[in-house]
Structure 1
Amino acid sequence: MQPVGLDVLCIGSVLWDVIGRSAAVMRVGSDVPGRITRLPGGVALNIGMMLARFGMRPALLSCIGRDRQGDELVAACGTLGLDTRLVYRSDDLPTDRYMAIEGANGLIAAIADAHSLEAAGARILRPFEDGRLASPYRGLVALDGNLTLALLSEIADSPVFAGADLRVAPASPGKADRLRPLIGHPGVTLYVNLEEAGLLCQVDFPDAASAAEGVVARGAARAVVTDGGRTAAEATRGAQTLTGAPPPVMVTRVTGAGDTFMAAHMAAEARGASRHEALAEALQRAAIYVSGDIGP
């Protein structure tokens, strides 16, 4: 039986983000002053953290090491309103990390060390096998593309998730192709940017609307496509495609913006918002986030 109070599962990367930020424009080889911070991160954690801020009750399914960094991360998750009771704690795998450099001109470079999550594989899904979670699961799931292709394929084909409301983020353009097994899932919504949509469909799309329609044409039930500060779109099979423009803001950070957008969209729909209202709210929340007006 699932934990009391749970209303969304966040499956994927839960790790420490080490982010270096500078107000300077940067290029390869730049050596500039700035700030370096360590924060709880990972796609699943970031989405869960924002869902909690938007009034939902998320639980994490991931791998966290039984090392000092892992203990600190579990404690930090608790303060953020994230339920970690279902997380797989490994004795032999270290806690994962992500490192990024951001300048005034955006993300300069990033390295994701999520090898432990990949090594843990299907072990993170044990709560569905031992009775801690309902099986089949018919609730809301936020799924990130940091999982291995094999595990994503297993989730796509598993009767456990056949009736779930799967909301999927690709994690990065380099992992967009991992999402292909999920395209045919009847309850899938793919949240991708314009580049990721193009990689997923192997097409150069001119804008978010054509990209969202292209992903749906490939078999997805629904696709939500963003394009930085330009027009975003939501396409649903059998319905009119929606578009919306984010409000113009001064960009002070980019890491986590897509996760904020996705979480805001999910939370709005969970409250009963219409498709149009949910897209507008997600764009507004993401703009506020990148402007630095809410916490990291």
Structure 2
Amino acid sequence: MTAPPDILCIGAMLWDVIGRAPRRMAPGADVPGRIRHIPGGVALNVAVALARWGLRPAVLSAVGRDPEGAALVAEAERLGVLTAHLARDTGLPTDTYMGIEDSEGLIAAIADVHSLEDAGIAILAPLDGALSGWTAPVVLDGNLTEDLLASVARDPRLSRADLRVVPASPGKAERLEPLIAARRGCFYLNRLEAEILAGRACPDAATAAQAVVARGAARVLVTDGPHPVAEAMAGAPTLTFAPPPVTVARVTGAGDCFLAAHLAAELNRQPRDAALRQAACAAAAHVSGKDVP
């Protein structure tokens, strides 16, 4: 019998198509570079990173029965992710993300997650069966619709779960408002996402994290590119840590790597400062082109 998962990652599981140029790009530029076709989506990225830390993550998502879906499931399993609880029979195709990066970071991206959005509540069906009574950590991906995120915030099947929430992109940060209003979850944000939720500009990660806590969130971690990361909690000191400087080799997936490293540290009972340090160093290593651990 297959051992149960340690963690559920709920959200996008798709193919990433990432084009990267080794130089700065202007709008409309047509330059040589490299194009990679790799497993992606926030939920899957976090799950793969968690598996590298020795954990057993499972993904709840919608993946088609098409050739792309079959290949994606096979690759996810090879990377240590449990896929038995996926919604496969929705009649929908496998989703895709396309991003363009240059030497400075992400230029633009399009996330085609229509199948995940159309599947909706169906991806949570395992919570009524094999995964009923779930009390372990759950990573929630902001690619879920606002209605589904609101449902999760009040879903009794997840009322005892340790929610870890990531918006997926600045454009989807506002979808997290129901979870903040419900005072559910630990939020992992970049500074722009935190500013959107805070409703104002902030000079640094610490100020941004504190501003989102002031809005009602119980716990918030904020990254800020090469600048110090921060963690703020209601009724506790705000922590900061400066990540090591690195040469940028990629940016897509850095936030997912940060979350996975932080959660792995906490499951290993590391204190707050050590967990924040592990997360920042893991994200920096990812940006430099290395896989951690």
The TM-score with structure 2 as length reference comes to: 0.97
Provide the residue aligned with 1:64 in structure 2.
63
CA contact (8 A) 1:209 1:235 kept: yes
User: CA offset at residue 185 of structure 1?
Assistant: 4.0
* Residues 104 and 115 of structure 1, relative CA distance in 2, 3 Å threshold: same
**One-letter amino acid matched to 2:130:** R
* Residues 186 and 180 of structure 1, relative CA distance in 2, 3 Å threshold: closer
Provide the residue aligned with 1:160 in structure 2.
157
Query: Which of the numbers 178, 183, 188 marks the counterpart of 1:181?
Result: 178
**One-letter amino acid matched to 2:68:** Q
CA contact (8 A) 1:45 1:60 kept: yes
CA contact (8 A) 1:162 1:185 kept: no
Query: Which of the numbers 125, 130, 133 marks the counterpart of 1:132?
Result: 130
User: CA offset at residue 186 of structure 1?
Assistant: 4.7
User: CA offset at residue 187 of structure 1?
Assistant: 4.7
Please identify runs of 4+ aligned residues in structure 1 that moved more than 3 A. Answer: 184-187
In structure 1, how many angstroms separate the alpha carbons of the residues matched to 2:155 and 2:13? 23
Q: Deviations over 1:122-157 (max 9, x none)?
A: 00000112x21123x211011100000000000001
In structure 2, how many angstroms separate the alpha carbons of the residues matched to 1:243 and 1:181? 27
**One-letter amino acid matched to 2:24:** V
Provide the residue aligned with 2:22 in structure 1.
23
Provide the residue aligned with 1:292 in structure 2.
289
In structure 2, how many angstroms separate the alpha carbons of the residues matched to 1:6 and 1:283? 25
Provide the residue aligned with 1:10 in structure 2.
9
User: CA offset at residue 92 of structure 1?
Assistant: 1.8
* Residues 3 and 61 of structure 1, relative CA distance in 2, 3 Å threshold: farther
In structure 2, how many angstroms separate the alpha carbons of the residues matched to 1:166 and 1:272? 17
What is the correspondence of 1:195-274 to structure 2 with a 5 Å cutoff?
195-274=192-271
Q: Deviations over 1:27-54 (max 9, x none)?
A: 1111111111100000000000000001
Gaps of 5+ in 1: none
CA contact (8 A) 1:8 1:58 kept: yes
What SS class does the counterpart of residue 240 from structure 1 fall into?
strand
In structure 2, how many angstroms separate the alpha carbons of the residues matched to 1:180 and 1:82? 29
How many aligned positions are there? Answer: 292
In structure 1, how many angstroms separate the alpha carbons of the residues matched to 2:106 and 2:123? 30
CA contact (8 A) 1:3 1:132 kept: no
What SS class does the counterpart of residue 24 from structure 1 fall into?
coil
In structure 1, how many angstroms separate the alpha carbons of the residues matched to 2:68 and 2:240? 42
In structure 2, how many angstroms separate the alpha carbons of the residues matched to 1:285 and 1:292? 11
Q: Deviations over 1:45-82 (max 9, x none)?
A: 00000000011110010000010100010101110000
User: CA offset at residue 90 of structure 1?
Assistant: 3.0
In structure 2, how many angstroms separate the alpha carbons of the residues matched to 1:184 and 1:134? 25
Provide the residue aligned with 1:53 in structure 2.
52
User: CA offset at residue 104 of structure 1?
Assistant: 0.9
Provide the residue aligned with 1:103 in structure 2.
102
**One-letter amino acid matched to 1:142:** V
Q: Deviations over 1:265-293 (max 9, x none)?
A: 00111111100000001011111110012
What SS class does the counterpart of residue 247 from structure 1 fall into?
coil
Provide the residue aligned with 1:37 in structure 2.
36
The TM-score with structure 1 as length reference comes to: 0.96
User: CA offset at residue 3 of structure 1?
Assistant: 6.0
CA contact (8 A) 2:101 2:107 kept: yes
Gaps of 5+ in 2: none
CA contact (8 A) 2:50 2:261 kept: yes
CA contact (8 A) 2:153 2:184 kept: no
Provide the residue aligned with 2:121 in structure 1.
122
**One-letter amino acid matched to 1:275:** R
In structure 2, how many angstroms separate the alpha carbons of the residues matched to 1:215 and 1:134? 32
User: CA offset at residue 294 of structure 1?
Assistant: 2.4
User: CA offset at residue 184 of structure 1?
Assistant: 3.8
